Structure 1
Amino acid sequence: MRFYKIMIALLLLSSCKKSEPIVITPNDYHNAVDKVVEIMVHDIFSPPVASRIFAYPNIAAYEIIAMQNPRYKSLSGQVSELTNIPKPKTPDHINFELAALIAHMDLSRQLVFSEDQMTSYSDSLYDIWEHKNPEIFRNSKAYALEVNKHIAQWMNADNYKQTRTMSKFNIDSNDIARWEPTPPSYMDGLEPHWNKIRTFVLDSASQFKPIPPPIFSMEPDSQFHKELVEVYDISNKITEEGDTSEEIQIAQFWDCNPYVTVTRGHLMFATKKITPGAHWIGITKIASKKSNMNFEDTVYAHTKTSIAIFEAFISCWDEKYRSNLVRPETLINKYVNDSWKPILQTPPFPEYPSGHSVASGAASIALNSIFGDDFQFDDDTEQRFGLPTRSFNSFEQAANEAAISRMYGGIHYRAAVEVGVKQGRDLGIFVVNNLNMLNE
């Protein structure tokens, strides 16, 4: 009899237990983004595709925040073909921050290859939240998935799936001015049809078409040849100085090549890193944390920056496969020094303009609009790859360094980095001026 009394008492106590509030913090969002980046590194996404993986989940989270908080304006009607997300049926029984985080994680899961890794991560959090407050968790999750169904339908109409089946890029081996695959893996040109992806804010991929690169010429007094020799001379100079060279450290810090092939005799393997966009998403995290942003402002900062980066890659790739310019490594090996290697591995797509430069210019403008022009920060984004922290007095300074790093690395001519960062900034200004995200 005593046993049954104890069991009844325990059941009564459990039935009287109050649900705990589910508190979602900015760190929860940062941790989710970090998990997505980790999976993206594992899965090896190209820089343009990676920019897409960042943008859509951030937009899904932002739209949920904008649904509830009058400080933020929906992107519906501002971003191409995006319509209003569904309204929640029981708003008083939803934690909108929780719903935003779930939406981000669930849509990210749909966009990566290793879905199981994202599922394991989110399920571990779901267990905690459901235990704290089953009703709020289930309602918030249901709403997040309803929103994601709406966002996914819009996302899947951006021409990405169609570009997966389009033809490879044709190499014109008879024209020395045109790009050709580079060592050591001689990969095909990545994403030659990326300019067909639907833009968010730009009216077309070519809206910020840059000036053409210097006219190809191997005449010693031509601008193009001078820039080629400059790459070779800089590389030789800083290589002689060794790994302590500031230029080499800058090149390595901003390398951001998601797939670097390493050869050791007959053995070939790959080292994996983050993309340029992921580096700037990392900077967004650093700035958000330094500014003590709340959850909603953190989502806003990530969304605005990821949209600028997404547009930058469409704009840049549009020009890359139009100008179709040969890389320095190809010409230097053919006409100057057949044993020369750039400090960084040449990525597999045409040279002009520099993708990192365009993306950095655009991201820096977006971040300026959020945090200010003179925001000092310590960038530890590359620590996971064994690289030390670098400090910057502004996002502009960081973008300039990212751009020039491509020339130090031996993978771009000067025109590609200088024109590229300007293209990115011009594009970024347009994006910022045409996205009205705050009610102030």
Structure 2
Amino acid sequence: MMTHTLISRCFGALLLVISFTACEEKPMEPIVITAEDFHTSVNNVTQVMIHDIFSPPQASRIYAYPNVAAYEILSSTNNEYNSLANQLTDFTAIPTPTTTENLNYELAALVAHIDLSRRLVFSEDKITPYRDSLYQLWNTKNPTEYTVSKTYGLAVADHVAAWMDGDMYKETRTMPKFSVITDDPSRWQPTPPSYGDGIEPHWNKIRPFVIDSASQFKPVPPPAYSMDENSDFYKELKEVYDISESITAKGDDAEEIAIAQFWDCNPYVSVTRGHLMFATKKITPGAHWIGIAKIASRNAGHDVMQTMYTYTKTSLAIADAFISCWDEKYRSNLVRPETLINEHFNDNWQPILQTPPFPEYVSGHSVVSGAAAEALTSIFGDGFSFIDDTELPFGLPVRSFSSFRDAASEAAVSRLYGGIHYRAAVDNGLVQGKNIGRFVNATLKMKVNKDQVSN
């Protein structure tokens, strides 16, 4: 039988072992960031933009800056990619880290992406919980790596934000609304059902990212306004009406209706039921193409660097496409088909899609789709087929495309099927967008090994 002293000694030894074990430092778990983390961050900001109802031009800006910040951090340690400093207008090199010890560049890039995204939306509170949950997780896994990486990511975010603040966006918020008081029948007028003011009439003052100026890719003018039945303008107006009538006669199963609805991408559709008016909210055209970039990156098995390269190049092409397109919209200031068809052909006629509140020429979908398709083609090649499920959350089935250019062509013609654009706006807009995309491809030297040539 153990004596009291022996028991005490054993118990003491046991306490000593426990004490030493407790004092041992818990091994820190490395923080691993994947491409899916960036897909999630981009998707989160898309959802907030839908909630906040950002216009298509505004949404393009919100995508571009966070992507640039993340890309710059990642490319700084990857010898296959070049910095965008001195390639984008007024953009200077990001700060170098104060220390590289315990610095996780992919983590820093994600921190910068989330932080800038949060600054650019209205509903910051919808991004903050997501950010804070990640911060808590990372801090638990490896507090040293988390702190060093977060500090650097936020420093880069501040640098990009300072550059962002010089793009004239804040100044355009206080500029006059677009005046529509005119007796000129060729000029744009607000359209039903909400008769909203023209959106972003000063967007051509926003500093471009890659193109030299908003007017660099000015398209050919639209056909001269004329209600003479032999004029090109009248023929295009009549074509919109005839196509709409033909499509409607086929019923809801018409392929043209499916195409129009798939590419609608109107962030704010007014719905009137009796005395009640409300809105349905969806993604913008740029968001649809960012969704396609995600699909392509996933299908290609892209890693973090490749994923952010794809997002960044595509978003820059989209952002400059909107600046260029909006420059023409408020220059030509052309009346929408709905206004003239109601006045001259059928006062009860409604387009298949709701007419958005800004001038007709050129088609924004056509310009943006052309530019995005060229950027994506330069990365993945012209024969990259994919299934587009971007519109599934909005109750629309998937569509299959043999290439990005195939998708862009369908997006462009969807506006004619939808009854909201004339053919010239669709065709010339697509050409304008392709030219912008090709210019972005030729001008930006993002990869050390030259990207695939986009013909």
- Assess same fold via TM > 0.5: yes
Please give the alpha-carbon distance, in whole angstroms, between the structure 1 residues aligned to 2:425 and 2:12. Answer: 80
Conserved? CA contact 1:172–1:178, under 8 Å: no
2:380 counterpart (349, 371, 389):
371
Q: Which runs of 5+ in 1 are unaligned?
A: none
Please give the alpha-carbon distance, in whole angstroms, between the structure 2 residues aligned to 1:246 and 1:180. Answer: 30
Return the index of the structure with the highest Cα Rg: 2
- Within 5 Å, give how 1:67-106 maps onto structure 2: 67-106=76-115
Structure 2 CA distance for partners of 1:134 and 1:339, relative to 1, 3 Å? same
Number of the residue aligned with 2:326: 317
Please give the alpha-carbon distance, in whole angstroms, between the structure 1 residues aligned to 2:14 and 2:330. Answer: 78
Number of the residue aligned with 2:3: none
**CA offsets per residue over residues 372-426 of structure 1, 9 Å max, x none?**
0110000000000000000000000000000000000000000000000100001
Please give the alpha-carbon distance, in whole angstroms, between the structure 1 residues aligned to 2:98 and 2:130. Answer: 28
- Within 5 Å, give how 1:298-317 maps onto structure 2: 298-317=307-326
1:392 matched to 2:401 = yes
Please give the alpha-carbon distance, in whole angstroms, between the structure 2 residues aligned to 1:115 and 1:11. Answer: 46
Number of the residue aligned with 1:118: 127
Number of the residue aligned with 2:146: 137
Number of the residue aligned with 2:349: 340
1:66 counterpart (75, 79, 99):
75
Number of the residue aligned with 2:272: 263
Structure 2 CA distance for partners of 1:126 and 1:219, relative to 1, 3 Å? same
Structure 2 CA distance for partners of 1:8 and 1:402, relative to 1, 3 Å? farther
2:245 aligned partner, one-letter code: N
- Within 5 Å, give how 1:385-424 maps onto structure 2: 385-424=394-433
1:197 matched to 2:199 = no
Conserved? CA contact 1:39–1:114, under 8 Å: yes
1:262 aligned partner, one-letter code: V
- With normalisation by structure 2, the TM-score equals 0.95
Please give the alpha-carbon distance, in whole angstroms, between the structure 2 residues aligned to 1:141 and 1:352. Answer: 45
Please give the alpha-carbon distance, in whole angstroms, between the structure 2 residues aligned to 1:14 and 1:238. Answer: 76
Structure 2 CA distance for partners of 1:261 and 1:12, relative to 1, 3 Å? same
1:147 aligned partner, one-letter code: V
2:386 aligned partner, one-letter code: F
Deviation at 1:3, TM superposition (A): 12
1:373 aligned partner, one-letter code: D
**CA offsets per residue over residues 240-271 of structure 1, 9 Å max, x none?**
11111000000000000000000000010000
**CA offsets per residue over residues 222-256 of structure 1, 9 Å max, x none?**
10000101101111111111111000000000000
Conserved? CA contact 1:76–1:82, under 8 Å: yes
Number of the residue aligned with 1:174: 183
Please give the alpha-carbon distance, in whole angstroms, between the structure 2 residues aligned to 1:4 and 1:145. Answer: 49
Conserved? CA contact 1:51–1:313, under 8 Å: yes
1:268 aligned partner, one-letter code: M
- With normalisation by structure 1, the TM-score equals 0.98
Deviation at 1:172, TM superposition (A): 3.5
Structure 2 CA distance for partners of 1:417 and 1:15, relative to 1, 3 Å? farther
Structure 2 CA distance for partners of 1:7 and 1:275, relative to 1, 3 Å? farther
Conserved? CA contact 1:46–1:275, under 8 Å: yes
**CA offsets per residue over residues 172-192 of structure 1, 9 Å max, x none?**
331110001000000000000
1:54 matched to 2:79 = no
The count of corresponding residues between Structure 1 and Structure 2 is 440
**CA offsets per residue over residues 176-228 of structure 1, 9 Å max, x none?**
10001000000000000000000111111000000000000001111000010
**CA offsets per residue over residues 268-327 of structure 1, 9 Å max, x none?**
000000000000000000000000000110000000000000000000000000000000
Structure 2 CA distance for partners of 1:87 and 1:290, relative to 1, 3 Å? same
Deviation at 1:68, TM superposition (A): 1.4
Instruction: State the superposition RMSD in angstroms.
Output: 1.5
Number of the residue aligned with 2:156: 147
1:19 matched to 2:28 = yes
**CA offsets per residue over residues 75-126 of structure 1, 9 Å max, x none?**
0010000001000111131110111111001000000000011111111111
Counterpart of 1:92 in 2: which secondary structure?
coil
Please give the alpha-carbon distance, in whole angstroms, between the structure 2 residues aligned to 1:148 and 1:357. Answer: 32
1:429 matched to 2:438 = yes
Counterpart of 1:69 in 2: which secondary structure?
coil
Counterpart of 1:375 in 2: which secondary structure?
coil
Q: Which runs of 5+ in 2 are unaligned?
A: 1-7, 450-455
Please give the alpha-carbon distance, in whole angstroms, between the structure 1 residues aligned to 2:196 and 2:110. Answer: 37
Structure 2 CA distance for partners of 1:36 and 1:6, relative to 1, 3 Å? farther
Structure 2 CA distance for partners of 1:335 and 1:117, relative to 1, 3 Å? same
1:251 counterpart (260, 265, 268):
260
2:360 counterpart (343, 346, 351):
351
Counterpart of 1:263 in 2: which secondary structure?
strand
Number of the residue aligned with 2:117: 108
Deviation at 1:9, TM superposition (A): 2.9
Conserved? CA contact 1:179–1:327, under 8 Å: yes
2:25 aligned partner, one-letter code: C
Structure 2 CA distance for partners of 1:8 and 1:419, relative to 1, 3 Å? farther
1:210 matched to 2:209 = no
Please give the alpha-carbon distance, in whole angstroms, between the structure 1 residues aligned to 2:233 and 2:19. Answer: 82
Structure 2 CA distance for partners of 1:439 and 1:124, relative to 1, 3 Å? same
